[in-house]
Amino acid sequence: MIPAGGVTTASLLGLKVRVTSAEALCARVVDWAARGQSRYVCFSPADHFVRAQDAPGFRGALEQADWIAPDGMAVVWSLRLLGWPDARRVYGPDAMLVLLDAAARTGIPVGFYGGAPETLRALLARVRTRFPRVQIAYAWAPPFRALAPHESEEALGRINASGARILFVGLGTPKQELWMAAHRGRVRAVMLGVGAAFDYLAGAKRQAPRWLMPLGLEWLFRLTMEPRRLWRRYLLNNPRFVRLVTEELLRRRSNSGSNGSSAERPQHGKENP
């Protein structure tokens, strides 16, 4: 069971994943932001865990994250099989809306980094309509090319000068995770890698129907929408994720049986801020 305090830590393919609700995550983000802390959050589907097996830099970005949220039903079901029955999905676009509402109520300034220029303009318009009290301190759609060192430093200076304390990062995987890891301690804000949330909330891309999500079929909808971009993620990485989790489950059961102890059982405990 999730302990009092609402958060526990699970281990999946060697990465620490927080088992909690979107509301508990957002409460922690608001607390960090109010303290002016530099932190970052990754919303990780199965694809992240597979990429981490092959790309040490990307794995390091996930390992350094202050919070990995399980953003995908395959991840949730795997956590449940491995001993965390209360695991639930924390969906990036939904968490973004919860945080925007909290920021509007608490007066915490927010910022947006990423997306195409037209997408960002549409996103800002919708955010202002839906959350008229929110303070948008910063917004920039950087070019898709790599920034020159002086451009990167100028962007960093503008973010910090803006006073934004929650920064939504929509650069796509793996770019946004690597960017947040490189800027932890330099950006004076809580960074959240929300990926396609910019496109969804701006109306630039269609979200999967809600009824598909708990069935774990959102990937199929996204694949039909963007087959050329996403075929490798879903047709190669998803089956590999299933194989890796199956191997981990069998290994844990084997170790538990041979040891005759509870050494492989998940340990639950309240997280520290």
Q: Is 250 within the bounds of a domain?
A: no
pLDDT at 2 over 50: no
Q: For residue 26, give both structure tokens.
A: 């957002």
Q: Phi then psi for 220, rounded to 5 degrees?
A: -65, -40
Look at the alpha carbons of 159, 206, 20, 261 in this order and tell me if their dihedral is positive or negative.
Answer: negative
Q: Is 49 part of a structural domain of the chain?
A: yes
* 5 pLDDT higher than 50: no
Residue 80 is part of which domain span?
18-141+153-235
pLDDT at position 259: 65
How far, CA to CA in Å, does 51 sit from each of 54, 100, 139, 232?
Answer: 6, 30, 29, 11
Residue 60: inside a domain: yes
Q: Residue 169: which CATH number?
A: 3.40.50
Q: Which of 11, 151, 160 is nearest to 83 (CA)?
A: 11
Q: Which residue has the tokens 């973004």?
A: 96
In a domain, 253, yes or no: no
What pLDDT shows up at residue 11?
Answer: 94
Is residue 1 a part of any domain in this protein?
no
Q: How many domains would you assign to the chain?
A: 1
Whose CA is closest to 168, among 102, 105, 219?
102
Mean pLDDT value of segment 117-123: 97
Asked if residue 222 is part of any domain, the answer here is yes
Q: What is the pLDDT of residue 6?
A: 64
Residue pair 207/200 in contact (Cβ under 8 Å)? The answer is yes
Beta bridge partners of 255: none
Block residue for tokens 């009092």: 4
Lookup: tokens for 264: 């492989």
- 69-77: average pLDDT: 95
Flag whether 265 is in a domain.
no
pLDDT by residue (tens digit) across 243-266? 999 999 999 888 876 665 444 445
> What is residue 3's predicted lDDT score, i.e. its pLDDT?
43
- The pLDDT tens digits for 201-218 are 999 888 878 787 887 878
Mean pLDDT of 88-105: 95
Flag whether 270 is in a domain: no
- 209 cis-preceded (ω within 30 degrees of 0): no
What's the whole-number average pLDDT of the chain?
90
pLDDT, position 7: 76
Alpha helix (H) residue ranges in the chain: 22-34, 46-54, 56-64, 73-81, 92-106, 117-130, 149-162, 175-183, 197-202, 218-225, 227-232, 238-259
pLDDT tens by residue, 15-43: 999 998 889 999 999 999 999 999 999 99
